[in-house]
């Protein structure tokens, strides 16, 4: 159960799709049109989020361009040309001081040693502000860039991911925290007994170790995960410290919140060891009419080719080429069960929408929740979900960048601070400290048999 004595503040992340989260963001006059290859754009965003005291910035990733209808894709630049995120975050570490730096990295098309080394390095470069969003890849096209003809099966992806994360964490423990004495007079740089060899031989990976990076300042960079399927929820309950997930209904959010935290407790974890942060796409206006007009303008920018392609992807790659976009989706395209049970799309079927209305509803937030209104309206909804224990915070997804982030920071953040729902200063020096997460001890700490070492 939660600690009743602990002061609760909303946890806020800023999710930076290059030009913004709306599928047509790049066409908006308030978006940085070359954002995918504009470093200064990201510097501005990160500094704005840090000035507002956000916990973290988050960058998604895919290791392939999108495949599909090129006519539609040519009007939808998402994932077609953008920076490799860890390189970008290392650059942002040099121009920020407090804000967490979180990136996706797939367990499907990486090796554990690479990921352990890169995130440990980022944690050192940033003085303890790194986070890893653990994903198993959903873009089937990624397989073609790594010597495979098909993606890993669903169960295998998650089995592989669990082994992968276990290896990475133990590689981060290769050196004890106090291994490096750096004693010039004695001529001793590190203590040999404080270096540990992994020697992992598992079903999917064989890794000897040790890692050639000192233990990260946070012990482990903070582990993030997005959970949707039952298998994904199980992995999240075992390994994740922050969960990104789509939630559209407060009652379902409260049920999910309790389910995940109780599930984590079965693995010996406390409620406060797991933070729930669904996506929230805020469209802010000085008045409700202004906010509604902003949303209408965004929707008008979605080209039908983009709308069909977006909805096709959301529905699992179905062919919508001959479908009338101003009529309801034909019944045979998606099964009644999927319409009812798939959390990413079920909200699209709660009312009788046309195909155009469906892709407009989905395109504003890519399956996450959109809130349109004044700063007070948006703060009201955030407060209701937070106080009602449906969330611990939100991953803010501005519809366009940089203008959408500026609007949220200038209008909504002060309301949250006035209500004492959000910090006015950072509490700690690391991402873990600001999120209220404990620093994990090393695998080799405490009593127990001595860890194997080279030559033993």
Show me where the domains of the chain are located: 11-288+368-435
Q: Who contacts 243 (Cβ-Cβ below 8 Å, separation ≥6)?
A: 224, 225, 226, 227, 236, 260, 274, 275, 276, 277
Number of H helices, E strands in the chain: 15, 14
Instruction: Tell me the residue ranges of DSSP E strands in 31-70.
Output: 56-59
Contacts 24+ apart (CB under 8 A), 337-345: 343/228, 343/245, 343/246, 344/228, 344/246, 344/314, 345/314, 345/315
Summary mean pLDDT of the chain: 90
The pLDDT-based confidence of 446 (bands split at 50, 70, 90) is low
Q: How confident is the model at residue 334 (pLDDT cuts 50, 70, 90)?
A: confident
Residues 6+ apart with CB under 8 A from 308: 69, 72, 320, 321, 323, 325, 355, 359
> What CATH number is given for 11-288+368-435 in this structure?
3.20.20.30
Q: Lowest-confidence range among 110-124, 208-222, 356-370, 441-455? A: 441-455
Q: How many residues does the chain have?
A: 456
What span, in angstroms and rounded, lies between the C-alpha atoms of 109 and 142? Answer: 8
CA distances from 222 to 83, 264, 370, 372, 430 (A): 22, 16, 27, 31, 10
% of the chain beyond a pLDDT of 70: 94
Residues with Cβ < 8 Å from 195, sequence gap 6 or more? 174, 175, 176, 179, 210, 453, 454
Structure tokens at 410: 């200038």
Contact 16, 404 (CB under 8 A): no
Helix (H) or strand (E) holding 100, with range, is: strand 100-106
Token digits of residue 184 = 């010039």
CA distance linking residue 362 with residue 374, whole number of Å: 21
Q: What is the pLDDT of residues 257-303, one digit of tens each?
A: 999 999 999 999 998 999 999 999 999 999 999 999 999 999 999 99
Residues 6 or more apart whose Cβ sits within 8 Å of residue 230: none
Q: What is the pLDDT of residue 73?
A: 80
Coil, strand or helix at 11: strand
Whole-structure pTM value: 0.91
Q: pLDDT at position 228, please? A: 60
pLDDT of residue 365: 66
Question: Residue 451: is its pLDDT beyond 50?
Answer: no
Lowest mean pLDDT of 137-141, 151-155, 394-398, name the range.
137-141
In this model, does residue 199 exceed pLDDT 80?
A: yes
61 closest CA partner among 96, 94, 40, 86: 86
Structure tokens at 315: 């529905």
Dump pLDDT digits (tens) for 79-126.
Answer: 788 899 999 999 999 999 999 999 999 999 999 999 999 999 999 999
């Amino acid at each position: 159960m939660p600690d009743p004595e602990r002061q609760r503040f909303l946890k806020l992340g800023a999710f930076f799709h290059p030009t913004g989260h709306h599928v047509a963001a790049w066409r908006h006059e308030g978006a940085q049109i070359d954002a995918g290859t504009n470093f200064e754009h990201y510097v501005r965003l990160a500094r704005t989020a840090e000035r507002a005291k956000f916990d973290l910035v988050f960058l998604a990733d895919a290791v392939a361009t999108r495949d599909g209808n090129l006519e539609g894709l040519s009007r939808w630049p998402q994932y077609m040309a953008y920076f490799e995120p860890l390189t970008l975050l290392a650059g942002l570490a040099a121009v920020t001081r407090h804000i967490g730096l979180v990136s996706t990295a797939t367990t499907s098309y990486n090796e554990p040693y690479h990921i352990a080394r890169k995130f440990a390095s980022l944690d050192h470069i940033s003085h303890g502000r790194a986070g890893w969003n653990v994903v198993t890849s959903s873009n089937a096209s990624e397989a073609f860039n790594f010597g495979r003809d098909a993606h890993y099966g669903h169960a295998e992806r998650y089995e592989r991911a669990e082994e992968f994360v276990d290896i990475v964490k133990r590689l981060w423990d290769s050196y004890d925290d106090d291994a490096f004495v750096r004693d010039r007079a004695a001529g001793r740089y590190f203590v040999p007994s404080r270096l540990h060899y992994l020697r992992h031989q598992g079903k999917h990976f064989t890794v000897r170790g040790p890692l050639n990076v000192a233990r990260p300042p946070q012990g482990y960079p903070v582990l993030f995960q997005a959970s949707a399927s039952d298998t994904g929820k199980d992995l999240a309950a075992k390994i994740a410290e922050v969960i990104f997930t789509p939630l559209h209904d407060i009652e379902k959010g409260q049920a999910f919140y309790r389910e995940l935290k109780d599930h984590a407790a079965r693995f010996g974890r406390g409620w406060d060891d797991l933070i729930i942060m669904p996506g929230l796409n805020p469209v802010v206006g000085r008045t409700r009419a202004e906010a509604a007009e902003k949303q209408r303008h965004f929707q008008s920018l979605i080209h039908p080719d983009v709308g069909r392609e977006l909805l096709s992807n959301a529905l699992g790659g179905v062919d919508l080429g001959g479908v009338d976009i101003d009529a309801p989706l034909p019944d045979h395209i998606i099964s009644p069960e999927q319409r009812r049970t798939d959390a990413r799309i079920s909200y699209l079927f709660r009312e009788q929408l046309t195909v155009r209305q469906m892709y407009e509803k989905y395109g504003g937030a890519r399956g996450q929740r959109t809130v349109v209104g004044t700063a007070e309206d948006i703060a009201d909804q955030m407060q209701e979900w937070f106080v009602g224990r449906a969330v611990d915070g939100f991953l803010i997804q501005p519809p366009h960048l940089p203008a959408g982030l500026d609007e949220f920071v200038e209008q909504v953040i002060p309301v949250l601070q006035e209500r004492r729902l959000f910090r006015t200063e950072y509490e700690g020096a690391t991402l873990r400290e600001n999120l209220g997460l404990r620093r994990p001890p090393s695998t080799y700490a405490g009593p127990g048999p001595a860890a194997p070492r080279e030559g033993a």
